[in-house]
């Protein structure tokens, strides 16, 4: 079926781009009036991320994570040191965060000591920037979170929802039943034309995934 990526709505600074050795999609969402922003899933390339922050003269209000797999965290420690911004994560993924060094070793990647999260995200957590809220969407991991910016029809879904796919559920803490429920009961109830930033690969829309995603009856 024909598909066109929707535009982000409203007055917002928005950038999304792949970073790090596993090409996680990092997103920066900023308020052009208050000059504050959120950095979502800084999975590497801290200089690239910080260049965008600095070019837009932004203050980082939070470094937030959709989940605690290493490819979504690798630059978090460096950016926290540079900005002083808090690290936020759902507590359900603490066991993965605590195992970050082991995760890096399995992939042969250098480990940068990363402090504990400063705050635990909860369902419907107010992110304090750009009207964003956290939506608990377990399944890929127990603590997987999606970030919804209603005023801008923007959803950052991490590894929960992909274009014509869903996140893996065969890793520790994964659950196919949970991820299916998270998508159908939480994400598919959001604005139909919302842009979806996936954890890896191309962006999509909720309307397209409802119609075409093979995990939900699409052809």
SS3 assignment for 138-173: CCCCCCCEEEEEHHHCEEEEECCEECCEECCCCCCC
Average confidence (pLDDT) over 2-24: 92
Q: Go through the domains of the chain in sequence order and give each one's CATH number.
A: 13-216 (3.60.15.10)
Beta bridge partners of 162: 165
For residue 27, pLDDT beyond 90: yes
- Residues 37, 16: contact at Cβ < 8 Å? no
Confidence of residue 2 (pLDDT cuts 50, 70, 90): low
For residue 98, pLDDT beyond 60: yes
Q: Kindly state the percentage of the chain with pLDDT values over 90.
A: 95
Confidence of residue 3 (pLDDT cuts 50, 70, 90): confident
Q: pTM of the full predicted structure?
A: 0.96
Supply angle C-alpha 214, 171, 113, rounded to 5.
125
For residue 1, pLDDT beyond 80: no
Packed helices 46-55 and 76-83: angle between N→C axes, nearest 10 degrees: 40
């Amino acid at each position: 079926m024909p598909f066109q990526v929707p535009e982000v709505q409203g007055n917002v600074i928005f950038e999304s781009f792949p970073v790090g050795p596993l090409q996680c999609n990092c997103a920066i969402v900023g308020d052009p009036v208050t000059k504050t922003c959120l950095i979502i899933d800084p999975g590497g390339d801290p200089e690239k991320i910080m260049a965008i922050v600095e070019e837009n003269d932004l203050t980082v209000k939070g470094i937030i994570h959709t989940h605690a797999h290493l490819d979504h965290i690798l630059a978090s420690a460096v950016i926290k040191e540079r900005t002083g911004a808090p690290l936020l994560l759902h507590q359900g993924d603490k066991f993965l965060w605590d195992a970050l060094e082991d995760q890096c070793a399995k992939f042969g990647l250098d480990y940068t000591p990363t402090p504990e999260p400063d705050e635990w995200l909860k369902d419907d957590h107010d992110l304090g920037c750009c009207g964003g809220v956290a939506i608990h969407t377990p399944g890929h991991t127990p603590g997987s979170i999606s970030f919804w910016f209603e005023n801008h029809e923007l959803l950052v879904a991490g590894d929960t929802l992909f274009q014509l796919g869903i996140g893996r559920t065969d890793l520790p803490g994964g659950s196919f039943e949970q991820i299916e429920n998270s998508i159908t009961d939480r994400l598919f109830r959001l604005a139909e034309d919302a842009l979806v930033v996936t954890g890896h690969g191309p962006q999509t829309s909720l309307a397209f995934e409802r119609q075409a995603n093979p995990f939900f009856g699409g052809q």
